[in-house]
Structure 1
Amino acid sequence: MTSIKVHCLVSCFCEIIKRRSDIDFRPFYFGLWDGDFDITEGGIISYHSENINHDNYLLWYEKLYGMKVNEWYDHAKDKDSNVETFLQLVENKPENRYVIVMVDMSLLPERENKFHQKPFPHYLMISKTEKEEEWFMLDPDFRWEGNMEREKVLHSVQDNPFGGGYFIDIEEIQEPTEEMVASYFIETFKRTDNELTMELKNLIIKMANEEDGYSLSGLVPAVKQIPVLAIRKYSYEHAFAYFRETLQYSEQEFDYWCDRVEDIVQGFTNVQYRAIKMAMTNNTGMLLSIVKKLDEMNAIELQIKAELERQFLLWKEMKTNESVLVL
């Protein structure tokens, strides 16, 4: 369970908690199943864009765990200035500081680029080693750590068409209260809305029918980043595991809901494949089956959300009763 990775920046934040304490990081994955995405003017569904910011994650990381996230990357400055700031942070890093930077993974061929994206903006952590020409790279999202040539890492930062970076100084990690965990769940929970599924459905219909200036051929780039977004649905498994610890229901029931999550993730892969095939073969007769699949995925995810909300309310009730007994 602890190896599920679904979002590069959130995984960095959670890895810090994991390495520095025994505090449960799983609540920080709440709501990530409905994480932000963007649709470009050309109709590309994108997991990263200048229109997406991570302010809410930064705010709640501090609220839940008491750690302030400092954004060192200044979007008002040019790339050279930001690279200089990054170099200073790495060179002068105290032991309790974590330096997070966005690289373009497509510029690091030594590292696996399993989503075959180019560019591939991705957050990971960097620190110095005893060798001046090597840096230590910690990439929690891809479960990879090891030494990399300093110049290659710098190249992947400098030539990244996007940019971003944070640092966190660890003093003390606080355990979130049950009230705070409940507040975060409630704030991020969208009971009746599966935005990614519905937006994808609308976009595919428009492109197949060549409406609003879209064309069928535009479907190929439009759905290219879907696998990166689909894996965010695995965050449901973190939530189920977290509540199960208190509710103590059977492993069989837990596995059932994890299988439903897998149905959704695989559903996105299936839809992406069919959408590309429809565009490549110019066969809009496939549209009906694609829409049907997306509607089926939407229905499954609404069932997952209903069950998760039920477990959350039970968890909350049990925690409240425990507090009363303590008093």
Structure 2
Amino acid sequence: MDLREFVAGTAGGTAGVFAGHPLDVVKTRLQSGNGTGVGATAADCFRKLFVKEGVKGFYRGILPPIVSNAPVSACVFSSYGWALRLIHGNERQHEASLREVTAAGFAAGVVSSVIVSPTELVKVRLQTHSHGGGPAQAMASGSGLGKAGLGVVGETYQCVRQIVKEGGLRNLFRGFNQTLIRESLSYACYFGSYEATLRAVTREGEDPTTLGILLAGSVSGMVVWGPVYPIDVVKTRIQACKSSTPDGTWRCFQKILTSEGVGGLFRGFSTTMVRAVPVNAITFLVFEQVQKSLPK
């Protein structure tokens, strides 16, 4: 494991989580399904969330991604560097071809899905639960999350306990197949588009500028969601509901198409695209700057 990549990836990922979590909550609420109290549009959902739960509601479920950030970053950047060394001969992505960078990103996504799947399950359950009632609370009915005064750590612990109670430790990996598909494809696009954009805006022989890194990070964040967004919606539906949603990808996909049409597969897409710009711009900027400042 490259310690520099681990530290820089953790710093960048943590910064990205804090920057984008409010919009991630809105996206998850929209993805979880139609219903009174959620809001039909991102703006409506944002307003209702603020009125019912205040600022705290926008940071519901933030502990799992923060806690998982270090191991996920370690897995992503270590496996990415490992794959790049196998394919290209060294881990310096700026010297590898775009095809090699993309292949290494795919490998990193496969590895990261093992950690991402259970932490996102907990995050989705917490985000789709509302103390103010409504469909989000209905989805989590019987989950034991409605106890007042638990705090972030307490709510997270209660959520994990309930998930295990529902179906054992195996239940923590509900939605794993969908997460695996999303992670592998998204990281392939993520690293590939970032490197392609960075090379396009950086003069040969010069170091990337801050503006160039921000631009490349923004582009990679937007590019990554196009191919995988429908599978992300399916994953969210499967993870948010205990029994009313089929746990098979194709069956869930068909159910959404039948009841909501194609639009159902892109609920919350605009929110995700808006969120992708600052999150990934900040993530890559912090990652590049921290890695550059650390001794080799």
TM-score normalised by L of structure 2: 0.29
Higher strand share: 1
Q: Whose radius of gyration is greater, 1 or 2?
A: 1
Higher helix share: 2
TM-score normalised by L of structure 1: 0.27
The higher relative CO (CA closer than 8 Å, separation ≥ 6) is in 2
